[in-house]
A = this chain, B = another copy of it.
């Protein structure tokens, strides 16, 4: 009673948008099953059915949720089809959602302890629909985990090696003397966020060349306000990766680039092993 204990948190990420009742309904369902769990929206504005954007965003967020949290991720164009409904435990958090690649980055960043397919209907809503597993299967299962149900009770064990990964380049690689990666995400401000981890020192080292798409980025900044007014510049993002930004504007629009664009860095004396995400 002296120390507040870490709260159990349900983190929610979906492509449901906020215009309809869908998000409110899954939160009410979760509260009914796990009334003591706090609920934190990661986002519900993933572009409809954009599994990769959901996967990246979840991976950028999960570390800030304390041990014991459950992360619910529902971007699910294949709802009701043969794709599996899954839950797994990694880094002492639970992850719940469709097995369609939404956990691609999580699976690359963490080591899965246990994984199950959500086959036990006792933990679903009664009369689950074939069109809204977010409400009927994923949310109840995530809430039951927060309420103390053991992961193994939710269904049959599955091999985490068999979980679905999107075939994208998660990790940058060396090619000749360049470190090669890609734009992994374009955020709300239009910043081009790559998958290339970059130290503050490497960013500012003389002789380092940065290319993104067909553009060579000549400016550097340690923070947004230090960038030039109208020119794209490179900086170390809050996640520790190379990003390209423009002050008071969208680098994606200015450079005409989107997710997947090639990113290359020359002249960095990288250790041979590039960070695991």
Contact = CB atoms under 8 A, between A and B. Distances in A.
Interface of A: 4-7, 9, 11, 13, 16-25, 27-29, 31-32, 34-36, 38, 40-46, 48-49, 57-58, 60-61, 64-66, 69, 77-81, 83, 129-132, 135-136, 147, 187-189, 222-226, 235-238, 240, 247-248
B24 A77 contact: no
Given A28-B61, A81-B226, A21 B43 contact: yes
Contacts of A5: 35
The SS class assigned to the A binding surface is loop
A24 B188 contact: no
Contact of A61 (B25, B32, B48): B25
B32 A6 contact: yes
Nearest to A243: B131
A57 B248 contact: no
A78 B21 contact: no
A23 to B, nearest CB: 7
Nearest to A240: B129
Contacts of A18: 18, 41, 43-45
Contacts of A27: 40-41
Contact of A79 (B6, B43, B83, B225): B225
A241 to B, nearest CB: 11
A42 B27 CA distance: 9
Given A28-B64, A28-B65, A224-B131, A21 B42 contact: yes
A43 B19 contact: yes
A175 to B, nearest CB: 28
